[in-house]
Amino acid sequence: MCAQNVVPLIESRIAEKLGPQRYNVWFKNATELSLTDQYLRVCAPNHFVGEWIERHFSAAIAEAAREITGADYTLSFAIDAALAKNLGKKQPDRQVEFVVNNPERVAREQLRAGSLPVEAVLKGHFGDFVVGASNRLAYAAAMNVAENPARQFNPLFLHGGCGLGKTHLLQAVCNAFKEKHPQLRWRYVSGEEFTNDYVYAIRAREMDAFHARYRNLDALVIDDVHYLANKRATQEGFLHTFNAIDAAGKQIVLASDAHPKMIGHFSDSLVSRFLSGMVVRIESPDVEVRVGVLRRRAERLKAAVSDAVLRHIAENFRANIRELEGALLKVVASAHVSGEPITVPLAERAVRDLMRQTAPVILLSDIESVVSIYFGLTPADLHTSRKSRTIALARGIAMYLARRHTDMSFPEIGRFMGNKNHSTVILATRRISKMVQESATVSWLTPEGLKSQVLPVLLCELEEQCGIGKGVEEVQPARWAS
């Protein structure tokens, strides 16, 4: 049976495994699967959907493919903005509703099952991490913690955009603990898993067991800690856990897509504790790092790829390691299907469509991520039809920054941000631009009440966090006159 005929069967099996609600929310009209050699490629319309599927449904997808084909496939995730036009009008609303309700839903399922999720295998190792100017300080700090936990950098807080290596370094630290300090008691969880665990403990009245799991550790490692934003009860529980571990002189390592000060709805107490340690930003990789990453990936694929081809890919995919690896996989798969050697002309043909879609989409995804985290939202909130004060302001700012810093047209921005009409994007960008020229103060609601900021200063902070600004102290008034 050819791959094209197998894909619908795999999709049907995924639907059986996940159930109609989850499948319709996350897969129907939102993903595109394709089989190439030993790889199953999963395309999503944006990074929010792609990362949610990768984090929550990878095992189900791989198992469905195995049951249908009888073979094991390596999953590869990519973004294809063209899929956004297929999303149902209310689908982003249902995705947000699913995310908001997920912790309680998971807690109920775990309560019925009487168990907690098993910790995943950690794949990251220091030996696999490609070091360059963009990540050298973060790498050195993580190595220092792995060698000498709770000595110098405590807490260690890594932040940067999606796909830049934060998770890799956190997992590398944990694997180093396992190898070099086998007596160490450590725990690696995501912010979402910590939230689910906390909700479960409260509902099951097992707070003593929760405290035993988290407070009697030598090292606590939490990825995507920004997930705790806008969850006041969980933040309070985490603050007490943080204080207990810190008071015992034990190690804490955290990672987030944003700087602690740029995470909306985080309590001042938590932010001050994060800033008391080592805070390191991971920048977008330079071309040499990108070539190094591709070379490592080609070795794992057992593909003979020349430096010229690797450099061609590296020079055209600049922002995200996952997109780099996806582009290489497409080149290798194209060569396998066509029977041609892997040359620069073949690579140019293979990634031409990806180049048209990826560069502005990645930058817009970065903008969406930074803006949503700052306002205590998810990127999917910006895609919904909801028009609350906070969402409308965040959505308008994201559209304004996308128009300012990408070459995407109004229709393209609207299509990517939940199939919004291009006139919606035009009106939003004009409104924000007018407010910038007037140096207006904007306000939005938080759990603690109304928060305000001068818009040009706010935009500059967001641009700096996205890696596209100069910083507040360097901004000249003329910058905002256009």
Residues 54 and 131 in one domain: no
In this prediction, residue 38 carries a pLDDT of 75
- At 401-458, the pLDDT tens digits run 998 888 888 988 888 887 788 899 999 999 999 999 999 999 988 776 788 899 999 9
Q: Is residue 140 part of a domain?
A: yes
The pLDDT assigned to 469 comes to 54
Residue 50 domain boundaries: 3-88
Residue 407 lies in a domain: yes
pLDDT confidence of 14, banded at 50, 70, 90? very high
| 335 within some domain | no
| pLDDT beyond 60 at 152 | yes
Task: Tell me the mean pLDDT in the region 137-164.
Answer: 91
Instruction: Please provide the average confidence, as pLDDT, over all residues in the chain.
Output: 83
- How confident is the model at residue 478, as a pLDDT? 30
Note the pTM of the prediction, 2 decimals: 0.77
What is the number of domains present in the chain?
3
Predicted pLDDT of residue 112: 42
Find the mean pLDDT for residues 292-296: 89
Residues 183 and 262 in one domain: yes
Residue 393 — very low, low, confident or very high, per pLDDT cuts 50/70/90?
very high
Q: Check whether residue 147 and residue 211 sit in a common domain.
A: yes
140 and 241 in a single domain? The answer is yes
| Assigned domain for 393 exists | yes
Question: 104: which residues sit within 8 A by CB, 6+ positions away?
Answer: 199
Asked if the structure places residue 94 within a domain, the reply is no
Question: Within this chain, do residues 259 and 130 fall inside the same structural domain, yes or no?
Answer: yes
Q: Which two tokens stand for residue 210?
A: 């929760």
> In one letter, which amino acid is 443?
S
Q: Both 159 and 63 in a single domain? A: no
Quick one: 64 and 138 in the same domain?
Answer: no
Find the CATH number of the domain harbouring 394: 1.10.1750.10
